[in-house]
A and B are shown apart, each in its own frame.
Chain A
């Protein structure tokens, strides 16, 4: 069995940044990637808007990926296994994978970084009613077929969900000559960026209806249309107002779920809110030596944040592998009014600053974000607007922390 200081599962933005972080600590690194190349979903995100925070310039997805890929591939201390599907991970950190070129791969690891990314919620996951014809795709699947494989998945398109991938695909399909008839959103607000609503929908006169959903789909071989209806304040469709829209394609942009199947049933403590692991500020899970970063930990809206988080995890994983992480007592990070989750969920006592990332549960205006420990204010931050789709952070000084920390919104 081959041994590496750090074994990284997933070669997308998180896996690559983790590898770079680990290498800077001098660790030997292996990346296991199931696709034919590194880069993950960035490879199919041909639009720009990546890297503004991390590189200070606007890049497309492939360009952002290439910056990391070059660094990883030129480093002889990183062994990259492509087309390698990881089958299992044990608590004592033996990773088993298969690949067409290597056959069975068994690696023992000083530490492991989980960087498997996330998966899209599908038609089954939202209980879509009606027939099961061809023409119903998740937005990301349609994106891959278009931008990597070169196939346009349909000509008359309706999109359910106004997340960024749905908005981007509305523009993409329009650019390739398809007619996007409608984008609808179940909630009264979009989780997508304002920029995407303006530049992907308004620029192309694509209508966006809030508080609206698909009630059923029709078609035998191929989708022929969808019924849509507005929803009431309990999100239940008002069927009297149901309306038929003919289309050959329905794209679903209805949420992302961290892809944690590999650790399902393991001893790793999971968060029911993020669907990812519960971690400390090093992104270490409840099982020592197993770290988690990127969209497998919690779904991010900016890849820049993924890179930053995974770099932290990779650095810490390398330190763990050489026994350089002290196991000091932890304090819990909890949430108060208006905050859906905060991450990391626990922090170690000590020196230095730590950023607590969080998401709010709805749109708020003019609120103050606070971090308190045993009632004592550690930090506050006044905000104009907070939206669930935009991850925020508040930075605290660890030396001020006396007990558990609570992140909340106050008037």
Chain B
């Protein structure tokens, strides 16, 4: 697998290979790059930040409570798109529990004062 290291502005071009269960990173210039390369190869994770709809119009910003498996991101976005909020929430409140089976919740990142329209 080829990727770009994001640990610093150098942006080293990494090549990651696996042989007999041993993951090897080449192209890095520092140990942080090697560590990043291994995690991107074995278990890449991403924070998801997106919007959910509010009944009657408007949107609320949300995020996953922690980074989730990268492969689950499309499913998490789809699940978020299916939410239609009809009550007030505070920043930090769970909007959707265990999003896409990731083990993490979708939580509000802002307050929403819901008024019925």
Contact = CB atoms under 8 A, between A and B. Distances in A.
Interface stretch (A113-121, A154-162, A383-391, A399-407): A383-391
B57 A150 contact: yes
Contact of B47 (A48, A193, A198, A202): A48
Given A147-B51, A194-B6, A194-B9, 14 more contacts: A46-B50, A46-B51, A48-B47, A58-B47, A63-B110, A66-B110, A147-B61, A150-B57, A150-B58, A199-B6, A365-B10, A385-B9, A389-B9, A390-B9
Interface string B55-79: 0011101010000001001000100
Contacts of B88: none
9 smallest CB-CB distances across A and B, nearest first, come from A46-B61, A150-B59, A62-B110, A195-B6, A194-B11, A60-B109, A385-B10, A194-B6, A47-B49
Contact of B8 (A63, A148, A202, A384): A384
Interface in B72-110: 73, 77, 81, 91, 109-110
Contacts of B24: none
A150 B111 CA distance: 16
B109 A62 contact: yes
Contacts of A66: 91, 110-111
25 contacts: A48-B49, A48-B63, A60-B49, A60-B61, A60-B63, A63-B109, A66-B91, A66-B110, A147-B59, A148-B59, A149-B59, A150-B57, A150-B59, A175-B50, A175-B77, A176-B51, A194-B6, A194-B8, A194-B9, A199-B6, A202-B3, A203-B73, A365-B10, A385-B10, A387-B9
Task: Tell me the interface secondary structure of chain A in the complex.
Answer: mixed
Contacts of A387: 9
Contact of B51 (A150, A193, A198, A384): A150
A122 interface: no
A197 interface: yes
A161 B83 CA distance: 33
Nearest to A150: B59
Contacts of B6: 193-195, 198-199
Contact of B4 (A60, A147, A197): A197
Contacts of B8: 194, 384-385
A244 to B, nearest CB: 30
A96 interface: no
A209 to B, nearest CB: 16
Contacts of B5: 194
A187 B57 CA distance: 40
A188 to B, nearest CB: 14
A43 to B, nearest CB: 8
B67 to A, nearest CB: 10
A146 interface: yes
Contacts of B49: 46-48, 60
Interface string A359-388: 000000100000000000000000011110
Contacts of A199: 6, 46
